[in-house]
Structure 1
Amino acid sequence: MISFVRGPVAQLSLAQAVIDVNGVGMLVHATPKTLGGLRVGEESTLTTTMIVREDSMTLYGFADADEREVFDVLLSVSGIGPRLALAVLAVLEPESIRRAVADADGKAFTKVPGVGPKVAGRIVLELKGKLVPTAGAGVPSAPAATAMAWKDQVVAAMTSLGWNEKDALKSIDAAMAAEPELADGGNVPAILRATLRWLGQDGARQSSRVR
């Protein structure tokens, strides 16, 4: 098992990074928030879990051991694979996941793309007792945490792509004003795509005005 990787970031995209580990490029899948903390050329360390199947070996990376622990426990739920477990972590913080399980708040998990009421109920049922809130952790409820988390993740993804934080926030707000249903859903990849699409359209509008 590869428990972590360390080295310069060789490549970076919205869903994965390549870490140069002593001349070997290790492809690591991660959430937009985790990837947003990386910069091409800078040395970084990611805690990892390797999923081995008959036809593949895939690395999933996390900002810390706490995220990895929650990811591994999510995989114990029937019907939850690594990509869906990673999607849960892209929307909900580890402590918010623990609290949602403890409060039997299945609705919190339906914010995750691909998780319907039945799967959300299964997560709550099967993880009861496996994930418990950290003692004394003063975190907001899972739905409130979700509402705050998606914007931070989209901003992190945009800054990793070259925008500064001020312009990223301004563009996100403008894009969500045009598509408010995306903001309500909290789907980070969809919001990011909508923001980039809005930026392209805004650039076209400014170019038209110049002419």
Structure 2
Amino acid sequence: MIAKLSGRLDATGEDWAIVDCHGVGYLVHCSSRTLAALGPVGEACTIHTQLQVSENDMRLLGFAESAERDWFRLLTGVQGVGSKVALAILSALSPQELREACGRGDAAMVARSQGVGPKLAGRIVNELKDKTGAMPGGTGGAGGFAPGAAVAAAGGKGADAASALENLGFKPAVAAAAVARALEELGEGASESDLIRLALRKAAG
């Protein structure tokens, strides 16, 4: 799994960037917010990533911060929200604004995103309104438990474990919660393989 890239920003486009890592150029699809945060072409940059694999395509999605990636995973778990729509939403709203919109059930705010109609915006806030506290910037559940933040804190290892569960068919929110519980039990010093095994048992249970 590719969880993060650090290199030189080689080129950018409307919704993509190429990051040169030791002579290898990675094409990364990004929100406009992430593109703006990467800085000028030719300078060093770091970008969090999510590898998305489908039957006919494989693409790398890039995010300026891990919170944005956590929200991307949550958004794409909603029926009708693909990677293009999720990036459009993250271009229009910051993770904090998105959390607040979902928490308030403010579909109109989400509908400001390009390509998101009122019906889809309503579905997004209805499905995610009870999950906003588990995301970065949220208040957390009982005891302050915050899966997204816990996974982000673990760095690439946590992100890779969550991606592994998603590739097995678990929804992003379920995968993040399972990995967070596994991290809580094993500690951040656990190996990636042990983390994936325990997270898989917790997600399946």
Q: TM-score, normalised by structure 1?
A: 0.61
Deviations 1:63-120 (A, max 9, x none): 1101110111001100100110000000011111111111111111110111111101
1:12 maps to which residue?
12
**What's the counterpart of residue 88 of structure 2?**
87
Q: Does residue 39 of the first structure (1) align with residue 43 of the second (2)?
A: no
- How far apart are the structure 2 equivalents of 1:36 and 1:65? 16
- 3-state SS of 2:60 partner: strand
Deviation at 1:44, TM superposition (A): 0.5
Distance 1:81 1:4 in 2: 21
Distance in 1 (alpha carbons) for counterparts of 2:22 and 2:57? 22
SS of structure 2 residue aligned to 1:76: coil
Tell me how far apart the structure 2 counterparts of residues 33 and 75 of structure 1 sit (CA, whole Å): 18
1:134 and 2:141 aligned: no
Three-state SS of the structure 1 residue aligned to 2:2 is coil
Quote the Cα distance in structure 2 between the aligned partners of 1:91 and 1:9.
23
- How far the C-alpha of 1:134 sits from its partner, in A, is 2.5
1:1-211 to structure 2, matched below 5 A, reads 1-37=1-37, 38-132=39-133, 134-135=138-139
Instruction: Give identity over the alignment, percent.
Output: 41
Q: What is the rounded CA distance, in whole Å, between the counterparts of 1:55 and 1:110 in structure 2?
A: 29
Q: Read off the aligned partner of 2:25 and give its amino acid letter.
A: G
Question: What is the rounded CA distance, in whole Å, between the counterparts of 1:118 and 1:31 in structure 2?
Answer: 22
Which deviates more, 33-42 or 88-97? 33-42
In the alignment, the residues of structure 1 paired with residue 42 and residue 60 of structure 2 have an alpha-carbon distance, to the nearest angstrom, of 20
CA separation in 2, counterparts of 1:95 and 1:81?
Answer: 21
Instruction: Report the RMSD for the aligned CA atoms in angstroms.
Output: 1.5
* Secondary structure of 1:129's aligned partner: coil
Q: 1:126 Cα shift?
A: 1.0
* C-alpha separation in 2, matches of 1:115 and 1:31: 15
Question: How many residue pairs align between the two structures?
Answer: 136
Unaligned runs of at least 5 residues, structure 1: 136-211
Contiguous gaps of at least 5 residues in structure 2: 140-205
Deviation at 1:33, TM superposition (A): 2.3
SS at match of 2:116: coil
Aligned partner of 1:186 in structure 2 is none
Residue 13 of structure 1: how far off its partner (Å): 1.8
Q: Moved runs in structure 1, 4+ residues, more than 6 A?
A: none
Distance 2:32 2:121 in 1: 22
**2:68 alignment partner, SS class:** helix
Q: Deviations over 1:26-59 (max 9, x none)?
A: 0011122221232211111000111101222111
The amino acid across from 1:51 in the alignment is Q
| Aligned-residue offset at 1:21 | 1.4
Q: Name the CA distance, whole Å, in 2 between partners of 1:51 and 1:131.
A: 23
Query: Counterparts of 1:33 and 1:105 in 2: how far apart (Å)?
Result: 21
